[in-house]
A and B are shown apart, each in its own frame.
Chain A
Amino acid sequence: MPDIDPRTAPVPTIFELSRPGRRAFRLPSLDVPNRSLDDLFGGHLAEEPPALPEVSEVDVVRHYTKLSTRSYGVDTGFYPLGSCTMKYNPKVNEEASRLAGLAGVHPLQNEDDIQGLLELLYLLERSLCEISGMARVTLQPAAGAHGEFTAMLMIRKALAERGRSPEEKPRRIVLIPDSAHGTNPASAAIAGFEMVEVKSDARGLVDLGDLRKKASAETAAFMLTNPNTLGLFEENVLEISRIIHEAGGFMYLDGANMNAFLGVARPAEMGFDVVHFNLHKTFSTPHGGGGPGAGPVGVAASLVPYLPVPMVEKEGDRYRLDWDRPKSIGKVHAFYGNVGILVRAYAYIRTLGADGLRRVAEIATLNANYLRVKLRGRYHLPHDRICQHEAVFSARNQAARGVKARDIAKRLLDYGFYAPTVYFPLVVEEAMMIEPVETESKEEIDRFCEAMIAIADEAEKNPDVVRNAPHTTPVRRLDDTRAVREPDVRWTRR
């Protein structure tokens, strides 16, 4: 037998399987007159079609099945990726999204022909309004960062409408805590704002003194994640809102961590004027290897006029799309957003109901705290007190022996787990951010903690096994530097 291990042998690209003339799909023969393409298109005609692979149906099936086995999803195992809320994605939601009457709908169909879709969007909006306490919600943004950007555009427009006296400076500053997700400053910048960072205090919360110093007549908004990226509830959120509102700015909630307080608290009561949801986190829609997600944005009454068009309105028992919103920022998606994802989220909310959603927050928080106490003896915990949905450890003790957070992450792969988020938030050195969502059982968390403790042992006794991990994956550590120095971002025949 040749010396090849099928578990680790590289999978050729689909292009390398190509053989001229092979086909995996045929159309019926043309049933209309076959006109001369030269007559129809003249100089627009290409000489050759694009060089897509020529493969059989079996080739396609085996190739992508093989690649699927070299991927790791929530269905494969525990996914403690902090801030990403990798909860189980219920199958019934997938089935709902595939219903022919939803998947086969064209967005520009007459309103009378898509009443079911419009009703679903309306009901989802009402549900998200109730969950957040906000006045209205746009479902259009396709991802969390897209929602952030949409919100920043609304704030910008609202500030422009508010106007200013000649002596006032424009409000071009967006305040962002140093623990924030990278999307926050990027979204603010793309919307034309400047970012000023607000420090965290010794307890891992927004430093009120620093915030007071930086809030000014130039403040457009404060973008806050709550619970923050350390998994800690911003206890002073009402005072923070007061400071920002007194300065004349808007309070923005990055809702990435909403799983922590579903049904327990609401952004509106915390003083937020605008909030984005991550339906692919809190509301269980699958991440798909990086997307699609959905990032609806909820707003208080003051920002309602600026919502993107169209909004779904109910009139009697009929639903219609309202395009006539003169103060709207416009559109951020050609149509209504990632409708198929919205369908899944709606199915999830219907399945859980009010009590089920609250239970999500309770058990997510219980799991995180259980994990916190189980690991705190072996890994440094910068903020050792009750956390919400996730716990952030530091590998600084291990790093002192030459084993970094990255190494621990890679070693976890050998134990059959996905890795936590590492090196984020930036305010914790050697950060390891662990989010054990509510759908993971006590036994699964126990197993994960045992693996983490075994790795802590290895870091002391046999650090090389951790430093050189992973050992069991189809490839070992990959050369990121070479990927940039000798870029290879598309396959070419060599």
Chain B
Amino acid sequence: MTYIPHTPDDIQAMLAAVGVSRVEDLFSTIPEGLRFKRRLDLPPAESEIEVLRDLSALADRNRAAGSTPSFLGGGVYDHAIPSVVPALAGRSEFVTSYTPYQAEISQGVLQTIYEFQTMICELTGMEAANASLYDGGSATAEGAMMALRMAADDRHGIVVLAGVNPLYRRVLATYVEGLPVEIVHPRMESGTADLADLGKRVSQKTACVLVQYPNWLGNLEPLREIISIARERGALVVVSVDPVAMGLLKRPGGLGADIVVGEGQGLGIPMSGGGPALGFLAARMKDIRQMPGRIVGATVDTEGRRGYVLTFQTREQHIRRARATSNICTNQALVALTATIHMAALGKGGLRETAVQCAQKARYAADRLSAISGFSLAFSGVSFFKEFAVRTPVRPAVLNRALAKAGIIGGLDAGTLDKKMKGLWLIAVTEKRTKEEIDRMAEVVSAVVSKRKLTPARAFPVGGPGIEN
């Protein structure tokens, strides 16, 4: 199957019109020596039925949430997705359209992006948002790079709190490797920023402080104090947020953040192996010309009717080329649309209820686990949202293996992402988890420690960047 409609007669007629006798002649401009003489060594073509059979067989070899309760987070979460979300986001006029260059026949796509930008502004407490970025990792890096553009020329330090997801830290380090930028890592104390150390690390050379809220261990950073320390020293603040948490917690915009970024996967997006995900970025209106990516604005047509266009395009690569604020062209538009429909379906009350249920269920799970002999919360006295770190008497990998046998996806072995967090077990609980699932998880864990003779088990060979900073 090739999806090509041409009949042999069509091809003959077209070749005749072009004035060549064979299709091969159309490649006469490719030097003979460059023409590929053999056939690509690929598996044979398959019918639709066979392709689905093959891919279903691959899919069946994965253990997937949906059939399996999951307590795994670390940046991607098993949140509920209302049925209307995929039903509407899957409408093919949306799915098969291009970036809305021709605004007059793309008002639908443009208006959804405008609504998305508005919702992101509401969630973050900021004045302007862009049309999306690739994911939370690249959005965090783009946020820091935007702060570098906004800061005075002699400020080229980025102070990255240890609470920022290690994977995002790795992306940031990769992004700025070629630039004259110094990354500084202040210490963590009891699961959140060590404010005294932060005060010493933020200097006249600091362009921005990068903080994640809730941080990657689930804990709520003292955002107000962090922003105040940065401000006193003239540094900007970039906050990476979980949008679901914004249903309950104070929004960084109101606390004085300069740029707010984040990962929107929790807003109706399937986990899908971590992508397509949804990076977002919001800032103040006065800084809009420093923003990366596409922006949609409202305007009027020649008859005075309201309409939408891609705007502030002079920031962008197709106009500004080497001096653009970013190289972004293709973004995550359909994912942003999906999140928009999701936020509309949840609404003001639904987002809050989702956040409350995450928080209450996470609290319940934390209470259940910390009641098991040998288990304790790694950071007591700190508020957490939907994820929390547990100290365990056996290795997290052993617990996860026992849970897998019981048909449950366990928590994250934090040491696989950050060596400093070795031995911590990170448990994520969304509104989708039931009391019964949490109880069952706690019972399996409890059984492991009560039955177990404490010989070291074979650790699962889970890969991870295991970065030191």
Contact B321–A185 (Cβ < 8 Å): yes
Contact B62–A102 (Cβ < 8 Å): yes
Contact B317–A186 (Cβ < 8 Å): yes
Say which one of B194-202, B228-236, B343-351 lies at the interface with A: B343-351
Instruction: Provide the bound-state CA to CA distance between A439 and B3, in Å.
Output: 6
Contact A14–B344 (Cβ < 8 Å): yes
Q: Mark B85-117, 1 if CB is under 8 A from A, else 0.
A: 011111111111111111111111101111101
Contact A142–B29 (Cβ < 8 Å): no
Among A40, A44, A127, A439, residue most surrounded by chain B Cβ atoms (within 10 Å): A44
Contact B52–A96 (Cβ < 8 Å): yes
Contact A288–B63 (Cβ < 8 Å): no
Contact A34–B337 (Cβ < 8 Å): no
Residues of B within 8 A of A130 (CB): 40-42
Contact B2–A360 (Cβ < 8 Å): yes
Say which one of B153-161, B307-315, B445-453 lies at the interface with A: B307-315
Residues of B within 8 A of A380 (CB): none
Q: Mark A230-269, 1 if CB is under 8 A from B, else 0.
A: 0011010110000000000000000000000101111001
Contact A487–B285 (Cβ < 8 Å): yes
B457 within 8 A of A: no
Question: What is the interface size of chain B, counting residues whose CB is below 8 A from a CB of the partner?
Answer: 218
Among A105, A386, A490, residue most surrounded by chain B Cβ atoms (within 10 Å): A490
A375 to B: closest C-beta gap in Å: 12
Q: State whether A473 and B105 are in contact (beta carbons under 8 Å apart), knowing that A13-B111, A49-B248, A55-B347 are contacts in the complex.
A: yes
Say which one of A25-33, A397-405, A458-466 lies at the interface with B: A25-33
Contact A45–B263 (Cβ < 8 Å): no
Residues of A within 8 A of B443 (CB): none
Which residues, 60 to 88 on B, are CB-close (under 8 Å) to A? 60-67, 70, 72, 74-76, 78, 80, 82, 84, 86-88
Tell me the nearest residue of chain B to A354, going by C-beta: B40
A395 within 8 A of B: no
Residues of B within 8 A of A367 (CB): 14
Contact B108–A8 (Cβ < 8 Å): no
Say which one of A75-83, A161-169, A211-219 lies at the interface with B: A75-83
Instruction: Provide the bound-state CA to CA distance between A353 and B165, in Å.
Output: 40
Contact B36–A266 (Cβ < 8 Å): yes
Contact B76–A264 (Cβ < 8 Å): no
Tell me the nearest residue of chain A to B346, going by C-beta: A25
Instruction: Provide the bound-state CA to CA distance between A272 and B416, in Å.
Output: 36
Instruction: Provide the bound-state CA to CA distance between A291 and B90, in Å.
Output: 13
Question: What is the interface size of chain A, counting residues whose CB is below 8 A from a CB of the partner?
Answer: 219
A275 within 8 A of B: no
Q: Mark A1-35, 1 if CB is under 8 A from B, else 0.
A: 00000001011011100100111111110111111
Contact A309–B465 (Cβ < 8 Å): yes
A202 within 8 A of B: no
Which residues, 391 to 415 on A, are CB-close (under 8 Å) to B? 409-410, 413
B249 within 8 A of A: yes
B302 within 8 A of A: yes
Instruction: Provide the bound-state CA to CA distance between A492 and B270, in Å.
Output: 30
Contact A53–B6 (Cβ < 8 Å): no
A41 to B: closest C-beta gap in Å: 5
Q: State whether A289 and B76 are in contact (beta carbons under 8 Å apart), knowing that A51-B122, A106-B70, A334-B135 are contacts in the complex.
A: no
Contact B307–A13 (Cβ < 8 Å): no
A138 within 8 A of B: no
Q: Which residue of A70, A111, A293, A340 is within 8 Å of B330 (Cβ)?
A: A293
B233 to A: closest C-beta gap in Å: 23
Which residues, 348 to 393 on A, are CB-close (under 8 Å) to B? 349-360, 362-363, 365-367, 369-370, 372-374, 385-386, 388
Contact B309–A480 (Cβ < 8 Å): yes
Instruction: Provide the bound-state CA to CA distance between A23 and B351, in Å.
Output: 11
Contact A183–B178 (Cβ < 8 Å): no
Contact A331–B23 (Cβ < 8 Å): no
Tell me the nearest residue of chain B to A233, going by C-beta: B29
Contact A68–B94 (Cβ < 8 Å): yes
A119 within 8 A of B: yes
Instruction: Provide the bound-state CA to CA distance between A400 and B420, in Å.
Output: 69
Tell me the nearest residue of chain B to A423, going by C-beta: B318
Contact B305–A475 (Cβ < 8 Å): yes
Contact B330–A143 (Cβ < 8 Å): yes
Contact A334–B274 (Cβ < 8 Å): yes
Tell me the nearest residue of chain A to B323, going by C-beta: A189
B356 within 8 A of A: yes
Instruction: Provide the bound-state CA to CA distance between A51 and B344, in Å.
Output: 10
Contact B462–A23 (Cβ < 8 Å): no
Q: State whether A10 and B306 are in contact (beta carbons under 8 Å apart), knowing that A102-B272, A186-B327, A330-B173 are contacts in the complex.
A: yes
Say which one of B183-191, B204-212, B292-300, B370-378 lies at the interface with A: B292-300
Tell me the nearest residue of chain B to A189, going by C-beta: B322
B55 within 8 A of A: yes
Instruction: Provide the bound-state CA to CA distance between A293 and B276, in Å.
Output: 9
Residues of A within 8 A of B353 (CB): 27
A280 within 8 A of B: yes
A429 within 8 A of B: no
Tell me the nearest residue of chain A to B343, going by C-beta: A52
Tell me the nearest residue of chain A to B5, going by C-beta: A441
B402 within 8 A of A: no
Listed by A's residue number, 16 A-B pairs whose Cβ atoms lie within 8 Å are: A45-B248, A49-B349, A52-B119, A64-B89, A73-B96, A103-B270, A107-B274, A116-B60, A233-B30, A287-B99, A288-B333, A291-B99, A335-B135, A363-B11, A475-B305, A478-B103
Further pairs besides A96-B52, A331-B171: 15, Cβ < 8 Å? A13-B118, A25-B82, A50-B348, A51-B348, A67-B109, A75-B93, A96-B55, A106-B273, A120-B55, A127-B42, A186-B324, A290-B99, A343-B55, A386-B18, A475-B103
What 10 A-B pairs have minimum CB-CB distances, sorted nearest first?
A: A335-B274, A101-B59, A288-B334, A353-B45, A192-B178, A107-B274, A116-B61, A73-B96, A290-B333, A330-B174
